[in-house]
Amino acid sequence: MSESSLDDIKVIVFQLKDEEYGVEVEQVKSIERVQHITRVPSTPDFVEGVINLRGVVTPIIDLRKRFNIEGLDHSDTTRVIIVTVEKMDVGLVVDAANDVIDIPRSAVEPPPQVVGGLEAEYIRGVAKLEKRLLILLNLDKVLNSEEMDEMKEIEGQV
Amino acid sequence: MERNQYLDMFIDESTEHLQALNDNILKLENTPEELSLVNEIFRSAHTLKGMAATMGYEDLANLTHHMENVLDGIRNRKFEADTRLIDVIFEAIDDLEAMVSDISGGGEGKRDVTRVQDKLAQIEKGELFEEAAVTVENVEASKEMYAFDDFELTVLAQSKEQGFNAFQLEVVLREDVILKAARVFMVFEVLEQIGEVIKCLPPVDQLEAENFDLSFTVTLVTKESEEEVEARIMKVSEIDKVLLSPVEEKEHPSQDESGIPESREQTDILSDQGHDPEDLNKPVSKEDKAAPAANKTIRVNIDRLDSLMNLFEELVIDRGRLEQISRDLKSSELTETVEHMTRISGDLQTIILNMRMVPVEQVFNRFPRMVRTLAKELNKKVNLEIIGAETELDRTVIDEIGDPLVHLLRNSLDHGIEEPEQRRKSGKTDTGQITLKAYHSGNHVFIEVADNGAGIDRDKVLEKAISREVISEESGAGLTDRQVYELLFSSGLSTADKISDISGRGVGLDVVKSKIESLGGNVSVNSRLNEGTVFSIQLPLTLSIISVMLVEVQKEVYAVPLSSIIETAIIKKEEIMSAHNQKVIDFRGSVVPLINLTDFFDVPASIEEDDHCSVIIVRKGEKMAALVVNSFIGQQEIVLKSLGEYLSGTFAISGATILGNGQVALIIDCNALIK
C-alpha cells in the first residue's frame, strides 16, 4: 500500500433508500447501468439473477432485499456495482452511485449495535464526514450469507 | 520466493521429461540394443537432474542422479537393460513423479527414496545383477569390434549418397616406434585433410594417452581412392602398414522398429552431442547440421485463451446485432461490410476453438506404462496398440477423460484378456491385444477400447443382474444382446468371478458412464463371445459450444442440451394422468413423469394455459421425464458459460449462455431433474 492510502480510504459512495454506504475502491470492478437480468430459479430472493457483463455471466444481488429494505422498481439512477470478493465477481443493485471520496481512517468508527435496522455484522464501520454519515460495508459478510450456505447444503443432499 | 516465477515452467518441463523417460524406457525394454534410446533417456534424466538441482529440490536431484549413474552403465554396456533393471528404474520414476506432483501441489518435493536409491546404488556397484553384468561384458568384449551406433550409421549413409567412400583402416605402427601419440596425431592430421574420421577404436583420448598396442582402427569418409589414402598414410614415418577395407553399408537392425521418424531421431542424436564430451571424436559433417525446421510453439496460459474466447463471444453477439441493423437499414454498403465481418469472425472462431484443442496423446501416453504394470500383476501377456493419438479434443474434455479410460483399460485387461493358458486353449496367441483408438467423425470424437479377449458372456451378465436385482427375471428374458451389455453400466454389477485389486468391485463402469455423460458424450459396448469386446466412447469436440433446444417457459428462455432430448411433442391436457400425486403421460408405451417447468422454476405465470402442452422428453440413462414448456424457439449452437462461483450450486441449472440479443439464458441440467 502506498503512503497516502495509509491515512485515507478511497470509497465509492452509493445510496440505498435514505442512507449512504461506502465500499472500498479496490473491491469495485466497475459500475454499470441496469440491463436485462435473467432470473435464476431456486436461489434466495435477494439474488436477482444473472447478467451478461461483457461476455461473463455475473450474478446480481439486490442490496435492498439483502438488507430487508422494502423493494423499489429500478429507475434511471439505479446502478449495478460490480465488486470482487474472494475472486468472485458479484453485482450489487443500488439506488444510485454518486461519488468517489477519500475518507481519513480516523473518521471511521466501529459499528454501533443498530444502524437503521441493519444488522451490524454487515458493517465494517461508520464514517462521519462533516454532515454526512457513511456506512462502510463488510462485503464478505454481505455475500456469504447463511442463506447461500443453506442453499449449498440442500444441493449437497439432493 | 524467487523460484516461484519458474515453478510452473519447472513443473511443466519435468512432467514432459518424466513422460519421455517412461516412453523411452518402455521402448528400450523391447529393443535393449538400441543405444540411441539410452542416450535419449540419459539426456532426459540429466536435464531433469539439472532443473531439480537449480530449483533446490535435493531429493529429486539425488534420485535422478543415481538413476543417471545406472543409465550411464547401460550406455557403456556395463549392464544389460533387462526387465529387472527396468523395473527398478520404473520404481524410481514413480517416486520422481510423486515428488513432482507434490511440488505442483505446493509441497516441497520431499520423499523418502532411500529404498530405491539403495537398489540403484546396488546396481551401480553391480551387486544386484553381478552375474548378468559379467556375462554381458564378456559377450561385448568378444564382438567388441565396430558396432556402429545410429548416429554413425546415418553419417555413413548420407556420405554414401553424396559420393563419398567409407573405409575402415587398420593402421599398424612399427614395433620400434618411439612417439606413438605423435604418430597417431600425424595420421589423424593426414586423414582429416582428405576426409572425415567417423569413428576410431580405441577412442581418441586413449590413443593420445598411448593407451593402445601397436594398431588402431579408424573409419574414414573420403572422396579419395583407396590407394591414395594408403599412400598418404604411409608417408607418415614409423608406420608399419595400413590395411584398408571398404565399409559395408549395413542397416542397423532395430532402426526400423524404433518407431521414431528418422529426421527426429537424427536431431535428437545431434543435440545429444553437447552432453557427451567423451564422444566428441565423432565429427559432425556439415550435411547433418541442417536440422529440420523446429516446431515453433509457445506456452499460453489457458486463462488467456478463455478470455480471448470471451471477447470473441462478445464480438459474435455484436455481430448478430449488426446483422439485424443492416437488414433494417438496407444499405448495400453496410450489408457488404457486415457480411465480410461475418465471414472473418467465422474463421476466427475456428482458430480460437482450435487453439484450445490438444492431442489426446497427452492422456494416452501414460497408458503403455500402466498396461505393462497391470499385465505383470495379472500374469497376462498384453500388447497395447494406440491408434490416432494425434486426434484433438478440447482441453477441458482432455482433463476429464483420463479416469474413465483408465477404468476401461483396466476392465479390458482384467475381464477381457484371458490368461495365457486359457488363450492357448481357445486357439489364440498367448499375447492378448488391446487397441486404443481415437478418431474424428463429424462433430464428435470417438475413442475405442477394443480387446481380443473372452468377450462378454450374455447369460452371466443377465444372471448377475437378476441376482443383484438390477432387473427382473421377466424383463431380462426379452432383452437384446446390446441391452444386456448396457446392463454392465448399471451400478452394482461386476461379472468377474474373482474380485481383484484392479477391477471387479462393482463400481467402475457406472462411474465411467456418468462421467462420460457429464461431458456430453456417451459410451456403448459391443462384444462377441471369445472374440473380444469393444467399448466405444463418443465425445463432443468441445465442451464450450453445445447444441441446445431453446424453449420459452412463460417469458423466460431456457436451453435444454440436445444430447439429453429424446423428442419434443405436443400433448392434449386430457392425456395427462396422475399416479401417486405425480402427473405422468403415456409416451410410446412407457409411463413418463411430467415436470411443469413453470412450477418447478417458480416462473411468474403470464401466459394463460390452453388445452395443449408442449413437452420435451428428456432422458438420463434409461430413465425419462417430460418437461412442460410454453413454446419451442428452436435449435441453436450456444456457448456454454458457468454461472459463476457465487451461484455454482444452483439446483437443476448446469450453466448459462448469452443469446444473440445479449441476454443470459439458463441451461437446464436434465440429469438433476431425473432421479
Q: Which residues of B touch A92 (CB under 8 A)?
A: none
Cell of B604: 411468474
At B138 the pLDDT is 40
- Report the distance separating Cα B625 and Cα B597, nearest Å: 12
Half-sphere exposure at residue B537, Cβ-oriented, CA atoms within 13 angstroms: 32
**What pLDDT is stored for residue B399 in this prediction?**
80
Cell of B434: 488391446
Looking up cell 422498481, which residue turns up? A73
Within B131-226, strands assigned E span 165-173, 195-201, 215-222
pLDDT at B387 > cutoff 50: yes
Would strands B577-579 and B582-587 be described as parallel, antiparallel, or unpaired? antiparallel
**Does pLDDT of B134 surpass 60?**
no
Which of A54, A37, A56, A36 minimizes the C-alpha distance to B315?
A54
Reported as a pLDDT band with limits 50, 70 and 90, residue B279 is very low
Q: Is the CB of B102 inside 8 Å of chain A's CB atoms?
A: no
Query: What is the Rg, in whole angstroms, of the alpha carbon atoms belonging to chain A?
Result: 16
Residue B309, min C-alpha distance to chain A (Å): 9
Query: What pLDDT does A116 receive?
Result: 53
Cβ-based burial of B527 (10 A; exposed 0-12, middle 13-18, buried ≥19): buried
Query: What is the nearest CA distance from A17 to chain B, expressed in angstroms?
Result: 26
As a whole-number percent, the residues of chain B with pLDDT over 70 amount to 84
pLDDT at res. B262: 40
Q: How far apart are CA B132 and CA B126, in angstroms?
A: 9
Instruction: Count A/B contacts: CB-CB distance under 8 Å.
Output: 90
CB neighbour list of residue B43: distance below 8 Å, 6 or more residues apart: B268, B271, B272, B275
Beta pairing partners, B551: B558, B632
- CB contact at 8 A, B36 and B90: no
Q: Which amino acid is at B652?
A: A
Q: Are B455 and B527 in contact (CB under 8 A)?
A: yes
B contacts of A156 (beta carbons < 8 Å): 649
Phi, psi of B534 (to 5 degrees): -125, 120
Of B311, B556, B665, the CB nearest to A55: B311
DSSP conformation letters of A88-123? EEEEEEESEEEEEEEEEGGGEEPPPSEETTEEGGGE
- pLDDT at position B666 is 92
At B497, is the pLDDT very low, low, confident or very high (cuts 50, 70, 90)? very low
Q: What is the ipTM score, two decimals? A: 0.82
A92 touches chain B (CB under 8 A): no
Instruction: Report the C-alpha gap between B408 and B511 in whole angstroms.
Output: 11
Mean pLDDT score, B137-145: 40
Mean pLDDT of B262-291: 41
Q: Would you say A142 and A121 are in contact if contact means Cβ atoms under 8 Å apart?
A: no
Question: Which of the residues B620, B643, B646, B661 would you substitute to probe the A interface, choosing the one with the greatest number of A C-beta atoms within 10 Å?
Answer: B646
Q: Could you say which of B644, B653, B663 has the minimum Cβ distance to residue A36?
A: B663
**Predicted pLDDT of residue A115:** 53
Q: Name residues whose C-beta falls within 8 Å of residue A4's C-beta, 6 or more positions apart in sequence.
A: none
Mean pLDDT of B90-111: 79
Query: What type of residue sits at position B336?
Result: E
Grid coordinates in use for A156? Answer: 449437497
Residues 6+ apart with CB under 8 A from B291: B266, B267, B270
Nearest chain B Cα to A45, which residue? B602
B503 min Cα distance to partner chain A (Å) = 28
List, for residues B4-52, the tens digit of each pLDDT value. 667 777 788 888 888 888 888 888 877 777 777 777 887 788 788 877 8
Residues 4-33 on A with a CB inside 8 Å of B are: none
Which residues on B lie below 8 Å from A56 (Cβ)?
310, 641, 644
What band does B492 get if pLDDT is binned at 50, 70 and 90?
Answer: low
pLDDT value at position B263? 40
Residue B281: pLDDT band (50, 70, 90) is very low
| Active-site annotation holds for B608 | no
Element (H, E) at B104: helix B83-104
State the pTM of this model.
Answer: 0.51
Query: Read out DSSP for chain A?
Result: --SHHHHEEEEEEEEETTEEEEEEGGGEEEEEE----B--SSS-TTEEEEEEETTEEEEEEEHHHHTTPPP----TT-EEEEEEETTEEEEEEESEEEEEEEEEGGGEEPPPSEETTEEGGGEEEEEEETTEEEEEE-HHHHHS-HHHHHHHHHHHH-
Upstream peptide bond of B593 is cis (omega within 30 degrees of 0): no
What pLDDT is stored for residue B195 in this prediction? 78
Q: Is A151 part of the contact surface with chain B (CB cutoff 8 Å)?
A: yes
Closest chain A CA to residue B647: A59
Of B311, B645, B664, nearest to A51 by CB-CB distance is B664
Query: Whose CA is closest to B607, among B618, B616, B596?
Result: B596
Distance CA B131, CA B137 (A): 10
Cell of residue B415, nine digits? 475381464
What average pLDDT does this structure show over B639-663? 79
From B316's Cα to the closest Cα of chain A, the distance in A is: 10
Residue A157 near chain B (CB below 8 Å): no
Structure confidence at residue A12 (pLDDT): 92
**Neighboring chain A residues of B652 at a CB cutoff of 8 Å:** 41-42
The mean pLDDT value of chain B amounts to 76
Tell me the C-alpha distance between B601 and B559, whole Å: 13
* Amino acid at position A95, single letter: D
Q: Is B46 a catalytic residue?
A: yes
d(CA B220, CA B393): 50
More confident of the two residues B595 and B205:
B595
Please tell me the distance in Å from B400's CA to the nearest CA on chain A.
Answer: 22
The H-assigned helical ranges of B286-415 are 286-289, 302-329, 332-355, 361-364, 367-378, 395-411
> What is the phi/psi pair of residue B639, to 5°?
-95, 125
Handedness of CA A110, A112, A116, A121 (dihedral sign): positive
Please say whether the beta carbons of B221 and B282 come within 8 A. Answer: no
pLDDT for res A152: 52
Residue B521: which of B599, B463, B438 has the closest Cα? B438
- How sure is the predictor about B431, in pLDDT bands with cuts at 50, 70 and 90? confident
pLDDT tier at A149, thresholds 50, 70, 90: low
- Mean pLDDT of the region B312-318: 75
Q: Which residues contact B332 (CB under 8 A, 6 or more apart)?
A: none
Judge residue A23's burial from the number of C-beta atoms within 10 Å of its C-beta, 0-12 exposed, 13-18 middle, 19 or more buried. Answer: buried
Q: Is the CB of A90 inside 8 Å of chain B's CB atoms?
A: yes
Round to whole Å and give the CA distance between B584 and B592: 5
pLDDT number for residue A50:
92
Could you say which of B22, B24, B39, B411 is catalytic? B411
Contact assignment for A38 to B310 by CB distance below 8 Å: no
Residue whose C-alpha cell is 402427473? B583
DSSP state for residue B605 in the 8-state scheme:
P
Whether B107 and chain A come into contact, CB under 8 Å, resolves to: no
Alpha carbon of B312: minimum distance to chain A alpha carbons (Å):
9
A-contacting residues of B 515-574, CB under 8 Å? 556
Q: Are B540 and B468 in contact (CB under 8 A)?
A: no
Torsion of CA B371, B374, B378, B381, to 10 degrees: 20
A72 touches chain B (CB under 8 A): no
Q: Which residues in chain A are closer than 8 Å to B658, comparing Cβ atoms? A: 52, 55, 57
Which residue of A32, A36, A56 to mutate against B (max B Cβ within 10 Å)? A56
Phi first, then psi, for residue B24 (nearest 5°) are: -70, -35
Mean pLDDT for B548-567 is: 89
CB B536 within 8 A of CB B525: yes
Nearest to B57 by CA among B99, B91, B115: B99
pLDDT at B142: 37
pLDDT greater than 50 at residue B511: yes
∠ CA B93-B95-B100, rounded to 5°: 90
Look at B310 and A151 and tell me if their CB atoms are within 8 Å: no
CA atoms within 13 A on the CB side of B361: 11
Is B616 exposed, middle or buried, given 0-12, 13-18 or 19+ CB atoms closer than 10 A? buried
The span from the CA of B156 to the CA of B80, in Å, is 27
Of A42, A52, A156, the CB nearest to B650: A42
Confidence class of residue B267 from pLDDT cuts 50, 70 and 90? Answer: very low
Is A58 part of the contact surface with chain B (CB cutoff 8 Å)? yes
Q: Which residue from B650, B663, B665 is facing A43, i.e. has the nearest CB?
A: B650
What pLDDT, on a 0 to 100 scale, did the predictor assign at position B659? 78
pLDDT digits (tens, 9 = 90+) for A75-129: 888 999 999 887 788 999 999 888 898 888 888 888 766 655 555 677 888 888 8
Query: How far away is chain A from the Cα of B25, in angstroms, using its nearest Cα?
Result: 44
B641 contacts in chain A (CB < 8 Å): 56-57
Annotated catalytic residue B581: no
pLDDT category, B499, cuts 50, 70, 90?
very low
**pLDDT value, residue B248:** 62
Strand, coil or helix: what is B58? Answer: helix
pLDDT at B457: 81
Q: What is the pLDDT of residues B590-640, one digit of tens each?
A: 888 998 888 888 888 888 777 888 999 988 767 888 999 998 988 777 777
User: Number of helices and strands (H, E) in chain B?
Assistant: 24, 22
Q: Using one digit for the tens of pLDDT, what is the confidence trace for A108-120?
A: 888 766 655 555 6
Q: Which residues of B touch A32 (CB under 8 A)?
A: none
Cell numbers placing B399: 482433463
Question: B483 to chain A, minimum CA–CA distance in Å?
Answer: 29
Cβ–Cβ below 8 Å for A43 and B647: yes
Contact B645, A34 (CB under 8 A): no
Between B148 and B368, where is the model more confident?
B368
| pLDDT winner (highest mean) among B127-131, B497-501, B568-572 | B568-572
Q: Are B547 and B555 in contact (CB under 8 A)?
A: no
Helix (H, G, I), strand (E, B) or coil at B644: coil
Query: Looking at the predicted structure, is the pLDDT value of residue B268 above 50?
Result: no
CB B416 within 8 A of CB B408: no
Residue of A40, A45, A86, A88 to mutate for B, most B C-beta atoms under 10 A: A40
- Indicate the helix (H) or strand (E) that contains B534: strand B532-540
Helix (H) or strand (E) holding B384: strand B382-387
Strands (E), B621-668: 623-629, 631-639, 653-658, 664-668
- Residues of A in Cβ contact (< 8 Å) with B662: 35-36, 52
* Between B392 and B671, the higher pLDDT residue: B392
**Whole-Å CA distances, A130 to A6, A109, B50, B80, B388:** 21, 14, 65, 87, 73
Residues in A touching B647 (Cβ below 8 Å) = 40, 43, 47, 50, 59
- Cα–Cα dist B619/B660, whole Å: 28
Q: Which of B34, B68, B152, B448 is catalytic?
A: B68
Distances (CA, A) of A13 to A74, B73, B119: 18, 73, 69
pLDDT band per the 50, 70, 90 thresholds, residue A6: low
Average pLDDT over every residue of B535-543: 80
